[in-house]
Amino acid sequence: MKPMNVGLLGIGTVGGGTFSVLKRNEEEITRRAGRPIRITTVADKNLELARKVAGDGVKLTDDAFSVVTDPEIDIIVELIGGYGVAKELVLAAIDNGKHVVTANKALLAVHGNEIFAAAQKKGVMVAFEAAVAGGIPIIKALREGLTANRIQWIAGIINGTTNFILSEMRDKGLPFAEVLKEAQALGYAEADPTFDIEGVDAAHKATLMASIAFGVPIQFDKAHIEGITKLESADIRYAEQLGYRIKLLGIAKKRETGIELRVHPTLIPAKRLIANVEGPMNAVLVQADAVGPTLYYGKGAGAEPTASAVIADLVDITRLHTADPEHRVPHLAFQPDQMVDLPVLPIEEAETACYLRMRVEDQPGALADITRILADNGISIDAMLQREPEEGEAQTDIIILTHRSIEGRINAAVAKIESLAVVAGRVTRLRLEDLDK
């Protein structure tokens, strides 16, 4: 049977891994796909590097646009990244009737609605398993494996860089800046780690998962995003004393009035499996009505784990290449005319429990004033930790865990607590998720 010819755009870390795994496991992949899948053309600016990786027998070019218009190519694999030329190449490939596989979560989170609409119009597929959580097949699980369920919420550790940093801060008690340098030295963090440590990368991925889970358009611009740069070692230590771990979570939750879509450091009970995911590993917890909670764990990055997801998409496309476009698995799980326009709720309407840490004058009545403000705003206390002041200290730390409340009420209470004369400086506030239902 005629092979499926693939044009590979970018043969860096993931591109090289894709080429290597596809070649190494060619026989197994052909048995599963039903026909051979071969990378026949590689586009990369560094032709010397491309030749070292691809060897002979593959056409090399530094002109990616010549690949997306080549009539001999069936599938384009886009591994260039970014929003600019990658978008032009993907849209050009679609316009030329080619299927697309991409690992580019940023591109899809920002321009996915346009890209999927173009693909639907041309009757081609855009597959993106590698865009979320590397080698973990979470997109396939959401689009296909859980298709009988109403998905209620998703909570994911979906950025390995930040999870490594938080694990090291907890294990070694080191400050953020010091652990970030270690992560960069080990290759877990980029020279410019902004997208990772500020939560943007996780928000790209959470946005895509939310659209698939709930059948809504991609709405990255509505996501609430907080990173880990302001997180202090003291809070990790206090959380541990209270039985919690702090993780950067991407959360998508469906409520009657809309969808919560947020990324932020989160306290999780230490007994939860996801709380014990350490180092650069990823994990996604999905709560659905029929199956209950399911957890997906594995490597979220790296050459061959990500290549595994890229090749899985190539196999899917090969299997469905001749299928009626109307009867393929939809890009975002739901049929395009069945998408609903549920709004993404502003963070003030999110419903979460909270961790509050405040520096308080060690004097009678201080705690009573704080608890009264919380009660006046309809916020009940779940647990409290008060550190004994060191000898000669006039101030001490008070840590309060609240029950679930609307974010706007917590904001109002925090503002009033900060205005108290007995409270020094700002209140540190972190969200808390039990992840039990």
CATH code of the domain covering residue 227? 3.30.360.10
Verify that 80 and 214 share a domain, yes or no: no
Verify that 213 and 308 share a domain, yes or no: no
Evaluate whether residue 245 is within a structural domain.
yes
Owning domain of residue 374: 350-432
Average pLDDT over residues 66-88: 96
Verify that 324 and 355 share a domain, yes or no: no
Verify that 108 and 128 share a domain, yes or no: yes
Look at residue 326 in the predicted model and tell me its pLDDT. 79
Evaluate whether residue 379 is within a structural domain.
yes
Evaluate whether residue 389 is within a structural domain.
yes
Say whether pLDDT at 325 is over 90. no
Verify that 356 and 273 share a domain, yes or no: no
Look at residue 143 in the predicted model and tell me its pLDDT. 95
Evaluate whether residue 154 is within a structural domain.
yes
Verify that 393 and 409 share a domain, yes or no: yes
Let me know the angle formed at the C-alpha of 163 by 411 and 268, rounded to the nearest 5 degrees.
Answer: 50
Evaluate whether residue 75 is within a structural domain.
yes
Look at residue 75 in the predicted model and tell me its pLDDT. 98
Verify that 238 and 161 share a domain, yes or no: yes
Please count the CA atoms within 13 angstroms of the CA of 26 that sit on its side-chain side. 10
* Contact (CB, 8 A) for 228 and 162: yes
Look at residue 363 in the predicted model and tell me its pLDDT. 83
Look at residue 194 in the predicted model and tell me its pLDDT. 95
Catalytic residue positions? 205
Chain segment 192-251, per-residue pLDDT in tens: 999 999 999 999 999 999 999 999 999 999 999 999 999 999 999 999 999 999 999 999
φ/ψ of 110, rounded to 5, equals: -95, -40
Look at residue 330 in the predicted model and tell me its pLDDT. 85
Average pLDDT over residues 72-90: 96
The closest alpha carbon to 382, from 371, 373, 366, belongs to: 371
Instruction: Provide the domain count of the chain.
Output: 3
Say whether pLDDT at 393 is over 80. no
Say whether pLDDT at 392 is over 70. no
Residue-by-residue DSSP string for 276-299: G--TTEEEEEEEETTTEEEEEEEE
Verify that 277 and 370 share a domain, yes or no: no
